[in-house]
Each structure stands twice: as C-alpha cells, then as structure tokens.
Structure 1
Amino acid sequence: MNIRCLQPSDAEEYRKLRLIALQMHPSAFASSYEEEKGNSADFYKMRFQSEESFTFGAFEEEKLVGSVTLLQETKRKLKHRALIVAMYVSDECRRRGVGKALIVAALEKANGMGGIEQIYLAVESTNEPAKKLYTSFGFEVFGKDKRAIKIEDTYFDEDHMVLYL
C-alpha cells in the first residue's frame, strides 16, 4: 500500500471513489451523492491545489482505495486548529490498516505544518470501527450532535472528537 498527497492528476480517480463513498455510506458524510455527482474532475483538481487542504490517498496496485482530507483553519484566531474530513476506505479494503495509514499521514502533515495544536473530526455515532480507530490515536469525544444528518425521514447523530497535539 502506498499513501501520498493527491495531485490534480488524481482528480478523476478521486471523484469516482468519492461518489461511491457517498452512495454506499450516505450517513457518514454531510454532502450527498446528489449534490456531488455534478462535480467535474476540475472541481477536485482545484481542491488539490489549495494551501489549506491536503487530501491523502491510499493506493493498492495503483488503484485509489481510500482517502482523507486535512483542512487547516484559515482565520487568524483558529489557525492552531485543523479538521479531518471526508475519511473513506473502500469496503473491500477495510480491516487491513488502510484507515490507520491515512490517519497517520494526516497527523504527520499536521505536525509538520507548525502551529497546529488540535485536530477535530465528526463521526456518525454508531460507526464503532471508525470511532475505535480515532480513539486509538488519542481522539476523544467532546460532544454529540443529535440529529446532525437527515436522510429523508431518518436522523443520524454525530460524535465530535478532538486530538490535542
């Protein structure tokens, strides 16, 4: 497995993985398949060129099988914080260390940026494997957002977690 920061040339493959993630696990993301299916590869190319956003990809035999994005806060009073968002590992690659490797890459980047003191993320409250992964790195739940996600008539809670570096 190879983990690296995604480049504009990875945009089409990322788009495909992202749409699968949104279709297969809609309660895990604030965004929806319907909202993102119209995004072209150029939309993601722009993101991959940002100086505050870093998307890491996990590749197995040149195929993108997982990703995670680290976002640095941009406001002066919040620059000591970063967010982990859009974490996804393809179903066939779960329980093989892909998620762990992606979080390691994001945390190494955060540590190397200088000035990042805490990292936040939100996870669907019943997603025990993800919560176990995050807890293994020292993330702690500091709050629950009840009914955070609504899909048709069904609500999903989110646990908000923080890691102090």
Structure 2
Amino acid sequence: MEIRLLKPSDAKRYWDLRLEALKLNPEAFATNYEEAVRRENPVQSVAKNLSNKGNFTYGAFNNGELMGVVTLLQETQLNLRHKANILAMYVNPDIRGLGVGKELLTEAINKAKTIETIEKLNLTVVTTNEKAKKLYTKLGFKVIGLEEKALKISGKYYNEEFLSLMIK
C-alpha cells in the first residue's frame, strides 16, 4: 500500500472513490450521492481543491488503484488558523481492517505537525461508526461534544460526535 499526497492529476480517481463512498456509506457524509452526481464539472472542482493552499488530501493506493482517502484542511481565517479539520475520510470496504485508515490518518496528523500554526485537529464522526471512533481515539482524539440529529438520511436521524486532538 502506497500512501501519498494527491495531486490535481488524481482528481478523476478521487471523484470516483468519493461517489463510491457516498453510495456505500451515506451516513458518514453531509453530501449525498444524488447531489454529488448532479454537480457541474466535479473533476475540475476536485483538481482545484487538491491544489488549494492548506488543503492536503492523502490517498492510499493498492497496485495503482485509489482505495482510501483523507483530507486535512487548515482553517483560513486568522483567528482560526491554529485549527485544521480532518474531512472526507473513506476506505474501500475490500481493504478495511488492514490498517489503511490508520496509515492515512497518521499521515494527515504528521503533516499537521509540520505546519507551525496548527495546534489542534478537529473531526466529526457518526456515533454508530464504532470502528472509526475506535481508530480516532486510538490515535489520541478525544470526544468534545455531541450533536443529536446531525444528519437526516431517508427519514432516519444520525448523531455525530465532535473529536479533537491537540498536537502542540
């Protein structure tokens, strides 16, 4: 498994994996699949995002195929620049349980530690996603809050926990 920072040239592979994630695990994302497929020029938008300052998206490649992703996104406002968010984490079901999520998240955490201004990482996770919650706490994230009914998908509500990791 190769873990590396994605480049704009990886945009199509990222978008394909993102659609898979939205289809297979809709409860894990604020965006839904139907909204995503209606976007205009999504691959171009992804390519632009992958080149934005403060946006670091890592991919896990297995034999050249993108199988997992995670994004580290630094806040841009001056009073918030000490924080970054972990977003859009997803690992293909075929390779879950092999440590790929841990490798991806560790890469993002390590990158954040190299950015002088980042002191704190935040993320959210659906409370029913026990495997993700276990990974996050294993890597030092602590629960700092709960939002009830954070997502409503097909009439069903999902709660989300807010987690934080102090890196400095």
- TM-score under structure 2 normalisation? 0.96
RMSD across aligned C-alpha pairs, in angstroms?
Answer: 0.7
- Residue in structure 1 matched with residue 27 of structure 2 by the alignment: 27
Cα offset, 1:152, TM superposition: 2.4
Name the amino acid aligned to 2:103. Answer: A
Name the amino acid aligned to 2:17. Answer: L
Matched residues in 1 for 2:73 and 2:51: separation? 13
Q: Note the residue ranges of structure 1 that are not aligned, 5 or more in a row.
A: none
- Residue in structure 2 matched with residue 85 of structure 1 by the alignment: 87
- Matched-pair identity in %: 45
Name the amino acid aligned to 2:125. Answer: V
CA displacement, residues 6-27 of structure 1 (integer Å, 9 cap, x when unaligned): 0011010111000000000000
Q: Secondary structure at the match of 2:108?
A: helix
- TM-score under structure 1 normalisation? 0.98
Q: Secondary structure at the match of 2:27?
A: helix
Matched residues in 1 for 2:46 and 2:126: separation? 24
Q: Secondary structure at the match of 2:79?
A: helix
CA displacement, residues 56-112 of structure 1 (integer Å, 9 cap, x when unaligned): 000011000000000100111110000000000000010001000000110011011
Name the amino acid aligned to 1:60. Answer: N
Runs of 4 or more consecutive aligned structure 1 residues displaced over 4 Å after TM superposition: none
Name the amino acid aligned to 1:50. Answer: N
Cα offset, 1:38, TM superposition: 3.1
Matched residues in 2 for 1:51 and 1:7: separation? 12
Q: Secondary structure at the match of 1:116?
A: coil
Q: Note the residue ranges of structure 2 that are not aligned, 5 or more in a row.
A: none
- Residue in structure 1 matched with residue 69 of structure 2 by the alignment: 67
Asked if residue 12 in structure 1 is aligned to residue 37 in structure 2, the reply is no
